[in-house]
Structure 1
Amino acid sequence: MAVRRHVGVYPGTFDPVTIGHLDIISRATRVVDHLIVAVAVNAGKGPMFSLEERVAMVEDSVRENGIGGATHIEVRAFENLLINFAVEMEASVIIRGLRAVSDFEYEFQMAGMNARLNNTVETVFLMASERSHFISSRFVKEIGRLQGDISAFVTPTVHRRLLQRFAEQG
């Protein structure tokens, strides 16, 4: 009898990837055997970094932090419907992080829609840890743009890339 491999998809824009995202990635490795960190195109959000840059930052950050262990982590870009991407990747679960009660309503509706579109893929919510529940990419960019110290919220590689991008933007 073949052992079933549990594949999970953790989607996001990751513009940029933060310590909070890495916390969820690390904890998701305890739930699945293979984790696909799915970097969304999401042009509607007007990302600061290109899709390729965001994929590279996630890969670098996962490697820098030694995340994975027995779980294989793969970083992939996607631009189709999340539930379709999850099915294409043969995922049985979508991992979503919740920082605050305000995240819950949107995520609850999204999970319901995904279940309605395909009920073979479950959505699992992981609560952000107390050390990272306040971190968001939007806040990191805003603080950094205003020359605040963001080094505690991102990896050293992401920090360097953000500082470089802010300098380019003047």
Structure 2
Amino acid sequence: MNKEIAVYPGNFDPFTIGHAEVVKRAVATGKFGKVVILVTMIRESWFDAEAKVAMVKSYDLPWDQVDVVVYHEPSDARWPRENVVILRGVRDEHDVEFEAEVKGQITAVTGYDQFFYIECREDKWQISSSAIRKSVTECNLMGLKDKVTPKVVTYLLEKVLKAKLYIVVGRPASGKSTICNRLEKMFEIGVIKIDDVAKEFRHELVAHFGTEDLFDLMEDHEDEFTSILGPRIIERLEYMLREMTGKHEVILVECAYAMKYSYSKFLGEQIVYVACTEETARRRNKGRGTPYLTKFNKDIPDEGEMRQLASEDRLTLIVFENDEDDFDDSKLRFWYDLLTFIPVDFLASSC
């Protein structure tokens, strides 16, 4: 067995899919017995060591061949010198020149002087930790999508927004809006309803399709609806989040179709699923005169499907069971306390 260790040092503030690609390609060479991601804490960072490690571990890496170690001082680099090579990713000629300049600095810090370079894929060239931090500072959500994991998005957005951030999902008549409305009124949390945002652009849809009766067109022209509404909803969402920054302890983004449209990729991995039985939903829809809404259930996961998705995609899931047509303030207080105090790396839970 090859005992040579590839040590991949970096500030990783945050760790990106570009960094993950370097690790995967190093493992794929078959040259190393282990690849160690060395999270350095020797200069000022956005995140502490615990958060950085949690973010690194949110990536789908071959963890039987990969370790994460935090580096505070030389004693943390504890591997025999003759068994170690420093792993580095290079993107272009500029990076090659930069690596020549910093090679001595890395050796001075770590004590290791053998290097192994991985050429990064071209589609990962523009992904950098500094660019990610710039995007989130500007609430540029599309600047985060597919560049970091949903968990990293959560860490980033919560730091900038100074609030806990959740996506609220559930089928028609589950009580999403009722819960959001009551929490907003009782605790002054921030609430963004994607359905209301979409209604702001109704006039564009009417102009495009030439009819006021849009409801029946949605299924047959879904791609057109998405191409018109999608970018506008995201732009509006970015603006609303900027306006809410620093003003709330909790921000809820209610979006029934969040899973279908992969909202976790730019709003983070914390999902509140509001659930009720099919019998309760039918009764509520009948009482509201909206029985036709049940046909949209096919695009929204039920509770079991949501739990499976959360497990597969490494999402944090909180389930609010909501079969009561009325509930007292104590239940709202419990839900609010849960949303306020739950740690960002909490595992799946049901309440």
In the superposition, the TM-score normalised over structure 2's length comes to 0.41
1:7 is matched with 5
Call closer, same or farther: CA 1:144–1:117 in 2, change over 3 Å: closer
Letter in 1 for 2:127: I
From 14, 17, 20, the equivalent of 2:15 is 17
2:119 equivalent to 1:127 = yes
Inter-CA distance 13–115: structure 2 relative to 1 (3 Å threshold): closer
Q: Mean Cα displacement is larger for which, 98-107 or 10-19?
A: 98-107
The DSSP-based 3-state class of the residue aligned with 1:140 is helix
Distance 1:113 1:138 in 2: 20
CA distance, structure 2, for counterparts of residue 128 and residue 48 of structure 1:
25
Query: Which residue in 2 is equivalent to 1:79?
Result: 72
Q: Structure 1: how far apart are the matches of 2:62 and 2:33?
A: 10
Task: Give 1:19's aligned amino acid.
Answer: I
RMSD: 2.5
- How has the CA–CA distance of structure 1 residues 166 and 33 changed in structure 2, closer, same or farther, with 3 Å as cutoff? same
| 1:8 CA drift (Å) | 1.1
Q: Is the 8 A contact 2:18 2:120 kept in 1?
A: yes
Among 63, 79, 95, which residue is 1:89 paired with? 79
* Cα deviations by residue, 1:80-137 (Å, 9 ceiling, x for unpaired): 35xx755x22342110111232222231233356679999752011111111111100
SS across alignment from 1:141: helix
TM-score by length of 1: 0.80
Q: Which has the higher helix share?
A: 2
2: CA distance, partners of 1:111 / 1:59: 27
Letter in 1 for 2:89: G
Aligned partners of 2:154 and 2:23: how far apart in 1?
A: 21
Aligned to 1:142: 134
**Which ranges of structure 2 fall in alignment gaps of 5 or more residues?**
163-244, 247-351
**Residues 78 and 160 (structure 1 numbering): CA distance in 2 closer, same or farther, change over 3 Å?**
same
Does 1:106 find its partner at 2:98?
Answer: yes
Question: How far apart are 1:13 and its partner, in Å?
Answer: 0.6
CA distance in 2: counterparts of 1:132 and 1:38, whole angstroms: 21
Q: In structure 2, what is the Cα distance between the partners aligned to 1:78 and 1:96?
A: 16
Quote the Cα distance in structure 2 between the aligned partners of 1:74 and 1:18: 16
Give the structure with higher Rg (CA). Answer: 2
- Supply the distance in 2 between the matched residues of 1:119 and 1:55 (Cα, whole angstroms): 23
In the other structure, the counterpart of 1:40 is 40
Secondary structure at 2:124 match in 1? coil
User: Residue type of the partner of 1:152?
Assistant: D
The aligned length equals: 158
Aligned-partner SS, 2:58: helix
Against the structure 1 CA distance between its residues 18 and 7, is the aligned structure 2 distance closer, same or farther, given a 3 Å change threshold? same
Secondary structure of 1:74's aligned partner: strand
Moved more, 114-123 or 159-168: 114-123
